[in-house]
Structure 1
Amino acid sequence: MSQLIINSFEEFEQHVGKELGVSAYHTITQEQVNLFADATMDHQWIHTDPEKAKAEGAFGGPIAHGYLTLSIVPFLWEQIVKVNNLKMMVNYGIESLRFAQPVLVGDEVRLNATLANITNLRGTIKTEMKVKLEIKGQRKPAFTANLVFLYHFQ
């Protein structure tokens, strides 16, 4: 796995329609799920009570919050692409988000990203990324989405 380096709009533009890369795998832990539950005040037993989730849940154990899996995108994204010469980058939107499969505690996930479109808005670059969060050993991804980022180059 190697990180793609982008220095300008023109370099970004060369990758439209192409896969930008895939992150390393990240293991979802019960501690991470519990900390996310504390931060979001979402303590549903399917996430935070491993014994009950194993005995009564539909998945054989606790699952990660869908929004936890979405929240690790910045961490995984930085492993795929490094954009230089920036004033700032802004998360602008998420389109067509679909949670396709739950992520169990202990699952390994990674981000796969393709540059779907890029627009130069008078110096601000709007990028549209097709992403999927893959689960190791599973055919279906945890989620798919179109992420929209704004890049302000220097």
Structure 2
Amino acid sequence: MRVFESIDELVAAKGEQLGPTDWFEITQERVDTFADATDDHQWIHIDKERAEAGPFGTTIAHGYLTLSLIAHFGKALYRIKNLTMGINYGLNKVRFPAVVPVGSRLRASGEVLDVKPAAQGVQLFSRITIEIDGGDKPACVAETVSLLVP
């Protein structure tokens, strides 16, 4: 984990690579819980028998489940000292180049793209790449924007 002592240190880290994190397993229980939370019960996510005969040979994680893990991985990639708060401000670009079969292990790496002044502090622009253990393509690549309030 990269610890930034200040916003100024973060600004100076433009272009810096972060991570990778430890591996994180995607279980069917997590996929089912996400399906319940989002009311997205599409069979490719929750019906093991039907999914075995489907295009991926097994159930797969929701793309938005994979995306939501950025919150989990972010805590393992970096920390910035002396902040009142950091909040999600949005996403500029998100892609899901590969599906995530249940049972896969994921990890993330990041890059500090930019830090710009904002009314309440600064906006951190970062690229987070979530990879699949043994996969040829990443599961998710997202440009995130965070509002950091000193």
Specify the TM-score bucket, using the shorter chain as the normaliser.
over 0.9
Tell me, yes or no, if structure 1 residue 69 matches structure 2 residue 42. no
- Kindly provide the CA deviation profile for residues 30-82 of structure 1, in whole angstroms up to 9, marking residues without a partner as x: 00000000111111110001111002x10110000000001111111101111
Task: Give the counterpart of 1:14 among 12, 15, 24.
Answer: 12
What is the 5 A alignment of 1:3-152? 3-55=1-53, 57-121=54-118, 124-152=121-149
Identity %: 39
**3-state SS of paired residue (1:22):** coil
Question: In the superposition, relative to structure 1, how do residues 124 and 92 fare at CA in structure 2: closer, same or farther (>3 Å)?
Answer: same
Shift of 1:7: 2.5
Give the whole-Å Cα distance in 2 for the aligned partners of 1:50 and 1:86. 44
- What are structure 1's unaligned runs of at least 5 residues? none
The letter of the residue matching 2:92 is E
Count of aligned residue pairs for this structure pair: 150
The letter of the residue matching 1:90 is I
Instruction: Give the superposed CA RMSD.
Output: 1.1
Conserved 8 A contact 2:114-2:125: yes
Conserved 8 A contact 2:70-2:128: no
Task: Give TM-score, length-normalised by structure 2.
Answer: 0.96
**3-state SS of paired residue (1:95):** strand
**3-state SS of paired residue (2:125):** strand
- What are structure 2's unaligned runs of at least 5 residues? none
Give the whole-Å Cα distance in 1 for the aligned partners of 2:134 and 2:20. 15
Q: Following TM superposition, where does structure 1 have runs of at least 4 consecutive aligned residues deviating by more than 2 angstroms? A: 120-123
Shift of 1:120: 2.5
